[in-house]
Chains A and B, each alone.
Chain A
Amino acid sequence: MKKIYMDHVATNPLHPEVLDAMMPYFKEEYGNPLSLYEAGMNARNAIENARESTASLIHAKSREIIFTASGAESNNFALKGIAYALQNKGKHLIVSKMEHHSVLNTARFLEKQGFAVTYLPLDKYGLVNPADVEKAITDETILISIIHASPEIGTIQPINEIGQIARGKGILMHTDSVSSVGNIPVDVDSLNVDLMSFAAHQFYGPKGAGALYIKEGTRVVPLIYGGIQENGRRAGTENVPAIVGMGKAAELATRDLQKRIDHVKPFRDSIIEHALNIENLFLTGHSEQRLPGHASFIVDFIEGEAMLMLLAGKGIACASGSACSSRALKASPVLISIGIPAHQAQGSVVFTIGEDTSQEDIDYFNETFQAVIKRLREISPFTKGWEGTEDSACTVKK
């Protein structure tokens, strides 16, 4: 059977050149980067080269990059690191309702530690209004953290504008760029951010490799205490092969970024154009300010997990924000935050494409998606409207 991977926002395959670059560090180059003899020096040099490539991808300086084990770790590090470093200055943070769990749950943890957090609303396209950021700022505000792009609805936030507001008030700005770095041009200076989280597997690097950009001169409290690795900011013997892989993936992303965008964008537009011909279906997120390989929809009268499973049966791998498709059995909070009623949020489906996607794949997908919707609608009790359904919270105990 044909296999088409359309869940690039979940993760990506490892680029063969990345694997080649990593291999020696699994085998002969096993030295500890802190050791003073040759094997140690080789590992140390490999890490520093990777740091340079990783920094280049976001137009930062090498010394502003701290390697971590994931985007989630970077987000934890940014929020806790700044909150604890600046708690004598103030105890208020601003985030949005679009944030990833690794930001939201860290914010909730900090609330329990006595910090106050403002959760900014989203408009119907998922955008944060910079004016809302400005209004939320108080004398106590020490950090603003807004996600750069949504993995669920593809919307890209106006980070540069929000960053400018933060900078004007002397407040630090962090952005979770896990879904954007490697997929769109990202420049820490033009975005006006002081901290940025990103992860290698989002641009064909290995899992288990992330980074936090910390602008020079920014004080953070470490998340992991121990030795002097990563300038004493993140202890633990470095995962040399993963870091080397991240560096190589960053180098390839810097080189191929435009090519990758030019490859996926027409396919994304084709998916959206074909899907919008189907009745009772709409795009979620912003139509222009969105990730180039990201198409997300609400399909009325049918449920996302059922769509996902039928598509999987046809060899197509994709995602959904419906309650049934989440392990927590809760509809995506982002969909609810952009004003989609809970029953419609059940019809969420997300397709993300990448380097390996072909025209043939897209043709097959467009046809299959339509057939799957038709099939499930034949089974559904709803055909023309949501008769008798009121938007309310689900009261069934799950």
Chain B
Amino acid sequence: MYSEKVMDHFTNPRNVGEMADADGVGTEGNPVCGDMMKIFIKVKDDKITEAKFQTFGCGAAIAVSSIVTEMAQGLTLDEALKITKASLAEALDGLPPQKMHCSNLGADALRKAIEDYKSKQGK
């Protein structure tokens, strides 16, 4: 059902955990639907220096969270905003079609974290 890449990120997720001193936090999804994702970012000079996540959800949701934090680190905020559902799925060597919409929340959660950072900066 899942690609090897999805299984790898699901069983050995990168960047798990809460970030107490995050510069921005974004939450997407709802446990009622089965998936909820929380992304924390640290930003320096307009660049994401660190990203972490906490996720309630299926294997795909956890894998998406893991890869989005991995991809976002080192990107400028504008570059990070270009991450999409499609680019995350591609980075994972594909997701089952039924998981594309409900579990692929990484790009939206990251965008919300960036917006949260910007609003805190008053930008």
A interface residues (Cβ-Cβ under 8 A, vs B): 301-303, 305-306, 309-310, 313, 322-325, 327, 329, 331, 341-343, 346, 378-382, 386, 389-398
Least distance between A306 CB and chain B CB atoms (Å): 5
- Is there an interface contact between B34 and A346, defined as CB atoms closer than 8 Å? yes
User: Residue A396 contacts which of B17, B55, B60, B102 (CB distance < 8 angstroms)?
Assistant: B102
- Is there an interface contact between A343 and B31, defined as CB atoms closer than 8 Å? yes
User: Residue A380 contacts which of B2, B27, B56, B59 (CB distance < 8 angstroms)?
Assistant: B56
Which residue of chain B has the shortest Cβ distance to A390 in the bound complex? B32
Inter-chain contacts of A395 with B (CB < 8 A):
33
B interface residues (Cβ-Cβ under 8 A, vs A): 2, 7, 10-11, 13, 16-18, 27, 29-36, 38, 54-62, 98-99, 101-103
Inter-chain contacts of A392 with B (CB < 8 A):
32
Which residue of chain A has the shortest Cβ distance to B100 in the bound complex? A398
Least distance between A246 CB and chain B CB atoms (Å): 32
Which residue of chain A has the shortest Cβ distance to B29 in the bound complex? A396
Inter-chain contacts of A302 with B (CB < 8 A):
56
- Is there an interface contact between B62 and A396, defined as CB atoms closer than 8 Å? no
- Is there an interface contact between A398 and B31, defined as CB atoms closer than 8 Å? no
Inter-chain contacts of B59 with A (CB < 8 A):
305-306, 309-310
Least distance between A336 CB and chain B CB atoms (Å): 11
Inter-chain contacts of B17 with A (CB < 8 A):
378
- Is there an interface contact between A381 and B34, defined as CB atoms closer than 8 Å? no
State in angstroms the CA–CA spacing of A390 and B2 once bound together: 31
Least distance between A374 CB and chain B CB atoms (Å): 13
Q: Please judge, given known A-B contacts A305-B59, A313-B11, A327-B98, whether A381 and B32 are in contact too, CB under 8 Å.
A: no
- Is there an interface contact between A306 and B54, defined as CB atoms closer than 8 Å? no
Instruction: State the 3 A-B residue pairs at the shortest beta-carbon distance, nearest first.
Output: A394-B33, A381-B54, A324-B58
- Is there an interface contact between B55 and A309, defined as CB atoms closer than 8 Å? no
- Is there an interface contact between B34 and A323, defined as CB atoms closer than 8 Å? yes
Least distance between B6 CB and chain A CB atoms (Å): 10
Least distance between B68 CB and chain A CB atoms (Å): 14
Inter-chain contacts of A386 with B (CB < 8 A):
31
User: Residue B101 contacts which of A303, A322, A393, A396 (CB distance < 8 angstroms)?
Assistant: A396
Inter-chain contacts of B30 with A (CB < 8 A):
343, 389, 394, 396
Inter-chain contacts of A342 with B (CB < 8 A):
32
State in angstroms the CA–CA spacing of A322 and B62 once bound together: 16
State in angstroms the CA–CA spacing of A325 and B13 once bound together: 20
Inter-chain contacts of A397 with B (CB < 8 A):
101
Offer 19 A-B interface pairs, CB within 8 angstroms, sorted by A.
A303-B35, A306-B57, A306-B59, A309-B10, A324-B57, A378-B16, A378-B17, A379-B13, A379-B54, A380-B54, A380-B55, A381-B56, A386-B31, A389-B31, A390-B32, A394-B32, A396-B30, A396-B102, A398-B33
Q: Please judge, given known A-B contacts A305-B59, A379-B13, whether A389 and B32 are in contact too, CB under 8 Å.
A: yes
Which residue of chain A has the shortest Cβ distance to B10 in the bound complex? A309
- Is there an interface contact between A379 and B34, defined as CB atoms closer than 8 Å? no
- Is there an interface contact between B36 and A324, defined as CB atoms closer than 8 Å? no
- Is there an interface contact between B57 and A396, defined as CB atoms closer than 8 Å? no
Inter-chain contacts of B13 with A (CB < 8 A):
379
State in angstroms the CA–CA spacing of A322 and B18 once bound together: 26
State in angstroms the CA–CA spacing of A263 and B52 once bound together: 47
- Is there an interface contact between A322 and B11, defined as CB atoms closer than 8 Å? no
Inter-chain contacts of A381 with B (CB < 8 A):
18, 27, 36, 38, 54-56
